[in-house]
């Protein structure tokens, strides 16, 4: 059997190719793709021809998807054909020593970390997952697939980054970058008990959604020194900063914003910069007790189903991120082009495979 996938064929070159449907392992599953959503990581890989992850050349793009179980391996216990599922973007190996040590995501089985000839990304008609019971999540009946598609990366990345901020009730935090991950960071910070929430960006569409999610202050970085402005408005440094956009210089900006003993949690991949240079002044010459954390998206069934529970019971409305909807898998090209064109009306696009 043959299926189609949208692959990176070189720098700024993507195309549709035919792939054989793989034979799954006993723990694995085949998922019929229902909805996908491109993100900035996909665009970076496309524009550079996968320079940072060369084994992805010729494989399907994408890592955000929801779908319907088509087939499961003989050892799968918790899923069956017909189940609506979220596919984990980060796919921890829960049968690893890292998992036993309490850090399963450090052994990641997603296509970005392991070169498996049978597996690429989610922009494909049927996605092959190595371990269904560990890295699929049931979508509750009352949760739509549009809501669920934001969970595997946007929610998972932002909520993990905010968890690492160790927010206490009433803390003041900054979202440095208020794209889709930063917006989910606003939600997570408010749920964690933050008081004042600053967001830094420039697009009205993002500020409008940030306000709905509970942000209190909106700073356009085009309007001058945003670090100075926040320090003035807050009467001093903030408790924590989530870096969810910008360049590697954002780390120094975050260090200038955060108090002594505060935390900077970074969830941005700085693909464009070989080195990150920190200001010793901002870092307090190395003895400010400021912590910088490099945070990867979390994954796995347990945490994804917790996030879906927040959606189920109305605590989280991730569908507000969706600004563009396309129908037909061939429309992936149109969704990707929105990022390339820097469309200012864009937060997140989704593509139905119908």
Same domain, yes or no: 138 and 268: no
pLDDT at 230: 98
pLDDT at 272: 76
> In terms of Cα–Cα distance, which of 231, 229, 264, 236 is closest to 250?
264
- pLDDT (tens place) for every residue of the chain, 354 residues total: 899 999 999 999 999 999 999 999 999 999 999 999 999 999 999 999 999 899 999 999 999 999 999 999 999 999 999 999 999 999 999 999 999 999 999 999 999 999 998 899 999 999 999 999 999 999 999 999 999 999 999 999 999 999 999 999 999 999 999 999 999 999 999 999 999 999 999 999 999 999 999 999 999 999 999 999 999 999 999 999 999 998 889 999 999 999 999 999 999 988 877 788 899 999 999 999 999 999 999 999 999 999 999 999 999 999 999 999 999 999 999 999 999 999 999 999 999 998
Q: Which two tokens stand for residue 320?
A: 């507000």
Q: Tokens 């054909």 label which residue?
A: 81
CATH of the domain at 184: 3.40.50.720
pLDDT at 57: 95
Helix (H, G, I), strand (E, B) or coil at 315: coil
Same domain, yes or no: 15 and 128: yes
In the structure, how many helices (H) and strands (E) does the chain have?
Answer: 11, 15
> In terms of Cα–Cα distance, which of 40, 29, 102 is closest to 269?
40
> In terms of Cα–Cα distance, which of 73, 89, 151 is closest to 122?
89
Q: Which two tokens stand for residue 22?
A: 């793989």
Count of Cβ atoms closer than 10 Å to residue 279 Cβ: 14
Same domain, yes or no: 78 and 177: no
Helix (H, G, I), strand (E, B) or coil at 215: coil
Q: Which two tokens stand for residue 133?
A: 């019971």
pLDDT at 270: 86
Same domain, yes or no: 235 and 314: no
CATH of the domain at 128: 3.90.180.10
> In terms of Cα–Cα distance, which of 7, 218, 352 is closest to 226?
218
Angstrom distance (rounded) from CA 242 to CA 240:
7
Q: Is the distance from CB of 274 to CB of 247 less than 8 angstroms?
A: no
Same domain, yes or no: 193 and 250: yes
pLDDT at 247: 87
The structure's pTM equals 0.96
Same domain, yes or no: 265 and 179: yes
Of 273, 294, 315, the last residue of a domain is: 294
pLDDT at 273: 77
Same domain, yes or no: 30 and 116: yes
The angle, 0 to 180 degrees and rounded to 10, between the axes of the packed helices 40-48 and 332-340 is 80
> What is the span of the domain harbouring residue 176?
165-294
Domain count, the chain: 2
DSSP 153-172: IIIHHHHHHHHTTT--TT--
Angstrom distance (rounded) from CA 33 to CA 159:
25
Same domain, yes or no: 235 and 335: no
Is 160 part of a structural domain of the chain?
Answer: no
Same domain, yes or no: 310 and 183: no
Is 131 part of a structural domain of the chain?
Answer: yes
Count of Cβ atoms closer than 10 Å to residue 161 Cβ: 29
Handedness of CA 276, 298, 339, 218 (dihedral sign): negative
Angstrom distance (rounded) from CA 70 to CA 55:
27
Is 159 part of a structural domain of the chain?
Answer: no
Same domain, yes or no: 139 and 205: no
pLDDT at 296: 93
Angstrom distance (rounded) from CA 308 to CA 147:
9
Same domain, yes or no: 307 and 326: yes
Beta-carbon-side half-sphere exposure of residue 197 (alpha carbons within 13 Å): 30
Burial of 236 (0-12, 13-18, 19+ CB in 10 A): exposed
Q: Is 193 left (phi over 0), alpha (psi -120 to 50) or beta?
A: left
Helix (H, G, I), strand (E, B) or coil at 124: strand
Q: Which two tokens stand for residue 209?
A: 């959604």
Same domain, yes or no: 113 and 218: no
> Which residues are registered as beta bridge partners of 220?
201
pLDDT at 163: 98
Of 294, 311, 334, the last residue of a domain is: 294
Of 244, 264, 294, the last residue of a domain is: 294
Q: What is the phi/psi pair of residue 301, to 5°?
A: -60, -45
Is 305 part of a structural domain of the chain?
Answer: yes
């Amino acid at each position: 059997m043959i299926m189609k996938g949208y692959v990176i064929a070189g720098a700024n070159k993507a195309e549709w190719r035919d792939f054989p449907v793989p034979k799954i392992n006993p723990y694995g599953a085949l998922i019929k793709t229902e909805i996908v959503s491109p993100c900035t990581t996909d665009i970076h890989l496309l524009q550079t021809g996968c320079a940072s992850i060369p084994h992805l050349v010729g494989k399907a793009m994408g890592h955000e998807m929801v779908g319907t179980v088509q087939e499961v391996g003989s050892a799968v216990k918790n899923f069956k054909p017909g189940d609506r599922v979220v596919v984990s973007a980060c796919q921890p190996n829960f049968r690893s020593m890292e998992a036993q040590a309490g850090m399963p995501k450090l052994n990641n089985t997603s296509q970005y970390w392991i070169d498996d000839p049978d597996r690429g990304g989610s922009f494909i008609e049927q996605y092959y997952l190595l371990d269904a019971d560990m890295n699929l999540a049931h979508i509750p009946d009352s949760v739509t697939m549009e809501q669920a598609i934001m969970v595997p990366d946007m929610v998972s990345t932002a909520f993990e980054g905010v968890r690492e901020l160790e927010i206490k009730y009433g803390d003041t935090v900054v979202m440095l970058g208020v794209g889709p991950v930063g917006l989910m960071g606003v939600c997570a910070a408010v749920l964690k008990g933050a008081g004042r929430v600053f967001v830094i960006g420039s697009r009205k569409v993002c500020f409008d959604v940030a306000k709905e999610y509970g942000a209190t202050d909106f700073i356009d970085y085009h309007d001058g020194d945003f670090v100075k402005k926040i320090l003035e408005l807050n009467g001093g440094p903030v408790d924590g900063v989530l870096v969810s956009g910008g360049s590697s210089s954002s780390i120094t900006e975050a260090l200038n914003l955060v108090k002594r003993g505060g935390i900077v949690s970074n969830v941005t991949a700085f693909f464009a910069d070989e080195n990150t240079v920190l200001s010793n002044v901002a870092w307090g010459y190395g003895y400010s007790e400021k912590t910088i954390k490099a945070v990867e998206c979390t994954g796995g069934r347990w945490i994804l189903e917790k996030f879906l529970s927040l959606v189920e019971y109305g605590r989280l409305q991730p569908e507000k991120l969706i600004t563009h909807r396309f129908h037909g898998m061939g429309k992936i090209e149109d969704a990707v082009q929105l990022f390339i064109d820097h469309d200012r009306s864009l937060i997140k696009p989704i593509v139905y495979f119908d």
